[in-house]
Chain A
Amino acid sequence: DAKTTQPNSMESNEEEPVHLPCNHSTISGTDYIHWYRQLPSQGPEYVIHGLTSNVNNRMASLAIAEDRKSSTLILHRATLRDAAVYYCILSWGNTGKLIFGQGTTLQVKP
Chain B
Amino acid sequence: NAGVTQTPKFRILKIGQSMTLQCTQDMNHNYMYWYRQDPGMGLKLIYYSVGAGITDKGEVPNGYNVSRSTTEDFPLRLELAAPSQTSVYFCASSTRTDGAFFGQGTRLTVV
Contacts and interface: CB of A to CB of B under 8 A. Distances in A.
Contacts of A99: 45, 58-59
A27 to B, nearest CB: 16
A99 B95 CA distance: 15
A68 interface: no
A100 B35 contact: yes
Interface residues of B, number: 26
B42 A43 contact: no
B42 A46 contact: no
Given A43-B104, A49-B98, A98 B42 contact: no
Contacts of A44: 43, 90, 92, 100, 102
A34 B90 CA distance: 17
Interface of A: 32, 34, 36, 42-49, 85, 87, 91, 94-103
A95 B50 contact: yes
Interface in B20-36: 31, 33, 35
Contacts, number: 60
Contacts of B45: 97-100
B101 A46 contact: yes
B59 A96 contact: no
B100 A98 contact: yes
A23 B27 CA distance: 31
A75 to B, nearest CB: 17
Contacts of A46: 99-102
A103 B42 contact: yes
Contacts of A98: 33, 45, 48, 92, 94, 100
A47 B100 CA distance: 10
Nearest to B97: A32
Q: Which 8 interchain pairs have the tightest Cβ spacing?
A: A46-B99, A43-B102, A100-B43, A96-B31, A44-B102, A49-B99, A102-B42, A96-B96
